[in-house]
Amino acid sequence: MKKVLIIHASAGDGHKKAAEALYESFLNLDNNKIKAVLVDALEYTTPFFGFGYKKAYEIMIKRMPWIWGFLYHMLNNRFFFAVATPFRRLVNGLNSRRLEKFILKENFDLVLSTHFFAPEVISYLKEKGLSRVKLINIPTDFKPHRFWIAKNIDRYFVASEITKQGFIKMGLSEDKISVSGIPISRKFNALASKEHARNSIGIKEDKFTILLMGGGLGIGPIKEILLDLQKLSFDFQIIAVCGRNESLADELGKLSCSLNKKTIVYGFTNQIDTLMAASDIMISKTGGATVSESLAAGLPIIALRPIPGQETGNVAFLCGNGIGFWVKRLDEINGIIIRLFKSKEDIDKLKSSIRHWSKPRAAEDIARLAMEMIE
C-alpha cells in the first residue's frame, strides 16, 4: 500500500481548500492501494510559531495589507530571496522538528503540498539523504512566487501555462512543471443548474443574481457595495457571503430586511458551489481558489480590492485574459453590472474565455499523475 501525505498550512483558506480537494480525489482512487493522510503543517511546529504564523498573516491581510504586499514583492526578488533563504532555513529548522520527525517516522511514498512551508522542510530532509519521498509542490495562485521553489521538489503542478512560463523564468526546469489548474472540490465537476441552485437557496429563478463575497475572512467594503447596489434601477437579487466575519454577517442580516433588492446573507458556508451556480456575476476577493472555482462555474468576477501580492497577480491574470474586471474605485462597479445586464454578447464573450481557462478536474488530474510517479 502506498502512503500519501497531503499537507497544507492554515494561513489563509485557499491552501486548505486545495488540500481538501486533493484528499477527496485520493480517497476516490483505489483505497486498497493507497492510504491518504491530510494534515496542517503548522500543527507540527512549536506552539508559538504555529500561532504566530497564522496570526501574523491574518493581521497583515486585515489591517496592514500594504506591509504584506511589500514583503511579497521583496521576497519575490532574486537578490532578497537569496538573502532570506538561510534565515528561512534557520527559522523553519528550529520550529519544525515535530514535522521532520513525523515525515521520517511515517515514511510516506508521496507528499503533495499546497503551501510553501512544508516543502522547504522536506526538501532539506531529502538534501541530507534522510528521506527519499517524492515531493510535489502545488502553488495556489496564478502568479508565480520564488517562495514555492525548493531544491528537491520532484514536480510542480501549476495553475496555467502563464504560471508555468513565470516559474521557468525563475530558473525551474520545464520538465518539472505540469499545468493542471488549482485543485478545487469535486462538487464543481457537476454543478446544479441555475434554476435548481436558485430554488435550493430560496431565490427567484428568473432574476439576475449578483454574488458578493469577501473571502474566507469576510474582509473588504462589502456593506458599502451592498448599499451602493441598491441605487441600480433594474430588478435583481443579491447573495452576500461574509465568511468568518460573524459581526458583518449579523449586521447585513439585519440590514437585508430593509433593502429594496432581495438579499440573502451567509456567514461561512460550504455551499459556495451552489451559490456560484445560482449567480450571474460575482464581486469578490480574488484568492487563487476562489478564482478557480469561479472559472469552473463560468462566473465572471469583478475584483474587490485585491490584497497586494498574490491577489493582484490573480486579478492581472483575469483582466489580461478577458475573464474579469478590476475596479480601482467602488463607484465603477455599478457601471460594469449595468453593461453586463444589458449585453448578452458581453456575457457570452466572457464565458467563452472562461471556458478556455477553466480546469474543474485539476484535483483528480493531479492525484492520477502523482500516483504514476510512484507506481
C-alpha cell at 347: 456575457
**Does residue 79 have a pLDDT over 80?**
yes
Distance CA 27, CA 225 (A): 40
Distance CA 38, CA 22 (A): 9
Q: What is the pLDDT of residue 170?
A: 96
pTM above 0.85, yes or no: yes
Instruction: Specify the residue for cell string 520550529.
Output: 95
Q: What is the pLDDT of residue 276?
A: 97
Model confidence at 238, in pLDDT bands (50, 70, 90)? very high
Give the torsion sign (CA, 142, 145, 147, 151). Answer: positive
Question: Which architecture, in CATH terms, is 190-357?
Answer: 3-Layer(aba) Sandwich (3.40)
Express each pLDDT in 257-316 by its tens digit: 889 899 999 998 989 999 999 999 999 989 999 999 999 999 999 998 888 899 999 999
DSSP tag of 267: S
Express each pLDDT in 15-33 by its tens digit: 999 999 999 999 998 767 8
Express each pLDDT in 136-178 by its tens digit: 999 999 999 999 999 999 999 999 999 999 999 999 999 999 9
How confident is the prediction for the chain on average, in pLDDT? 93
Q: What is the pLDDT of residue 197?
A: 96
Model confidence at 345, in pLDDT bands (50, 70, 90)? confident
Q: Which CATH class is domain 2-184+360-372?
A: alpha beta
Model confidence at 342, in pLDDT bands (50, 70, 90)? confident
CB contact at 8 A, 118 and 139: no
Question: Coil, helix or strand for 283?
Answer: strand
Mean pLDDT of all residues in 232-251: 91
Mean pLDDT of all residues in 68-87: 93
Q: What is the pLDDT of residue 160?
A: 96
Q: Boundaries of CATH 3.40.50.2000 in the chain? A: 2-184+360-372, 190-357
Distance CA 49, CA 42 (A): 8
Model confidence at 338, in pLDDT bands (50, 70, 90)? very high
Question: Coil, helix or strand for 110?
Answer: strand
